[in-house]
Amino acid sequence: MVHSSFIVFSIITAFKQTQTLSLTSLNFSTIFFNYIASASVFCIHFIDEEEEDEDEVERKREENYTRCAQSRNNFTKFARIRRPEDWVKGMWFGKKAAIANQHRHQTSIIKTSCLDFQDKKLKQQAVKIHQCILGYCGDKTMNFPETLARDILQKGVDNRDLVDEIYVQLCKQLTDNPKKESEAKVWQLICMCVGTFPPSSDFVDHLYNKLLEYRNVPGLVGGYTNYSLRRLEGILNSGASGFVPSVKEIEAYKQRPPILATIELVDGSPLTTDLPITPDLDVEKVLEICNHFLDLSDPRSKYFGIFVVDEALPPRVPPPPRTGTSRQMIAPPPPPPPAEWDLPRTPAPLRNQDFMGGKSIQSERASIARMEHCS
């Protein structure tokens, strides 16, 4: 990610497209700009001299990722996974196909739990959870999909025994999913779950292993993956939130993806790194978070705003000059005039009712259109 002295707010979008946003004042008086420029002093409240160096934290994170990415941590090797013979118990036909698809996406409701539960009620709850997953992801036609997603989350909050079952089912539905729309909905459920309850200590490495499979996938999937990895890391440190998103908050996932935001002040000093921004958080709520981080009590803080600075595409390189004898030498053509995307850009302020994820999608589409025009 590119940083410069005037950048205050940058975000990593769900498309791994880097944009720059500036947290500054909408009041253009010199006095208030001086106030903004000095706002970095409030970071003292968040700096711990004994806190680990950022590079050291990143090093440990990568070490953990490397360990979890080992094949022995594949979710299918989880100790509590139901054995194949138990998975097809009671079936007369199609046992081979059922065993082959035990850990893969399926559009029919499972007959029993993915984990080896002995409690009959837990098995029944597991089947209902899978039905809700299919309904939310569009694999099965059901009404009120947002309510189905909320029901999944509520079951995980109410009964810790079902948490690993939920994660295993999501890993299953993610594996070899041929439908892009269904796959995206599975990722949305994962993003919601890792923000609501953590997996057990026995399953956490297996969940990391599954998420890391998609870490370098470009586009929306890669964005969901990196968001989920950071939310998972956060909830493992803080514990279950116990908060279940409302139906309205879940509906926001239809409109825009969640993103990770790294917030900086005007002098370049960081305020927070990779802050998860859920789809329902608009600019006004993000500004409230910034004011809380800065511990600002000054009434002028309400004039803070976020500006977007699009990164220009690299300039086009003119073709190399033709070679040959002196008589055959042809002078290279003059360089083309600066294209629209090569010109300096004016930061664009976001309205309080705007959403980060929505802006990310717009910028990504515009960037693709410019690249296609360039080619």
Give the length of the chain: 375
Q: What is the pLDDT averaged over residues 270-294?
A: 81
Of 131, 201, 127, 192, residue with least CA distance to 160: 201
Residues 92 and 214 grouped into a single domain:
yes
Same domain flag for 82 and 109? yes
> How much of the chain, in percent, has pLDDT values that exceed 90?
45
Whether residues 266 and 364 share a domain: the answer is yes
Q: Is 251 within the bounds of a domain?
A: no
Q: 283: domain range?
A: 9-47+257-374
Total domains, the chain: 2
**Of residues 332 and 158, which shows the higher confidence score?**
158
CA separation, residue 350 to residues 26, 126, 180, 262, 293 (Å): 11, 43, 31, 17, 20
Same structural domain, 154 and 227: yes
Of the ranges 73-82, 153-162, 251-260, 281-290, which one carries the lowest mean pLDDT score?
Answer: 281-290
Residue pair 243/207 in contact (Cβ under 8 Å)? The answer is no
Quick check: is 79 in a domain? yes
Q: Are residues 323 and 364 in the same domain?
A: yes
300 shares its domain with 209: no
- The answer to the question of residue 57 being in a domain is no
In this structure, of 24-33, 65-74, 285-294, the range with the lowest mean pLDDT score is 24-33
Residue 179 has pLDDT above 80, yes or no: yes
Shared-domain flag, residues 72 and 145: yes
- Rounded CA gap, 356 and 267, in Å? 22
Is the pLDDT confidence value at 148 over 80? Answer: yes
CB 240 within 8 A of CB 15: no
> Of the candidates 125, 132, 142, 216, which has an alpha carbon nearest to the alpha carbon of residue 173?
132
Single pTM value for the model: 0.74
Domain shared by 296 and 359, yes or no: yes
Residue 330 falls inside a structural domain: yes
Q: Are residues 87 and 184 in the same domain?
A: yes
Residues 113 and 139 placed together within one structural domain of the fold: yes
Where is the domain boundary, 215, 245, 275? 245
